[in-house]
């Protein structure tokens, strides 16, 4: 199916997987809101972006990219924008709920794009009959 849509479905699947992973990280922050000393975390997207920006070598004279992506992995970092509370906990419920909502909206947008690609394919198949 990747041949029909090019890399579109594979890229959308990667985005959706990242959004699911980030949802787990954010949910973990919310679950630890009352844990003293807990540091809020977030999923870093820069490695995923770097793997998408690798240049393709189409001729032997081209300069090779420093590394080929072997698989997508996400890095969990401490949230740099968090504030430290009295108990050294850096989870801010309002901020986490905002991140959770934003993440959900972006996941749903990706899902709708996949759905529209599949609907387009269904319409093509129906018109062939």
DSSP letters, 8-64, are HHHHHHHHHHHHHHHHHHHHHHHHTTTSTTPPPEEEE-HHHHHHHTPPP--STTSPP
- Rounded to an integer, the average pLDDT of 16-42 is 93
Q: Let me know how long the chain is.
A: 129
**What is the distance between the alpha carbons of residues 74 and 14, in angstroms, rounded to a whole number?**
11
3-state secondary structure at position 102: helix
Structure confidence at residue 72 (pLDDT) = 61
Interval 73-126: pLDDT, tens: 788 888 877 788 788 899 999 999 999 999 999 999 999 999 998 898 888 888
pTM above 0.85, yes or no: no
Angle at CA 54, nearest 5°, toward 71 and 13?
45
C-alpha radius of gyration, the chain, whole number? 20
Long-range contacts from 69-73, C-beta under 8 angstroms, 24+ separation: 72/14, 72/17, 72/18, 72/47, 72/48, 73/47
Interval 32-72: pLDDT, tens: 999 999 999 999 876 555 565 555 666 676 555 444 444 56
8 band by pLDDT with thresholds 50, 70 and 90? confident
């Amino acid at each position: 199916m990747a041949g029909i849509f090019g890399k579109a479905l594979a890229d959308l699947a990667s985005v959706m997987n990242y959004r699911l992973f980030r949802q787990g990280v954010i949910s973990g922050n919310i679950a630890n809101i009352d844990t003293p000393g807990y540091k809020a975390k977030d999923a870093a997207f820069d490695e995923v972006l770097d793997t998408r920006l690798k240049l393709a070598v189409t001729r032997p004279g081209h300069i090779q990219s420093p590394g080929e992506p072997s698989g997508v992995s996400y890095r969990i970092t401490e949230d740099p924008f968090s504030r430290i509370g009295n108990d050294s906990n850096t989870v801010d419920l309002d901020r986490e709920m905002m991140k959770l909502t934003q993440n959900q909206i972006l996941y749903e947008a990706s899902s709708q794009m996949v759905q529209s690609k599949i609907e387009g394919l269904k319409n093509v198949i129906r018109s062939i009959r």
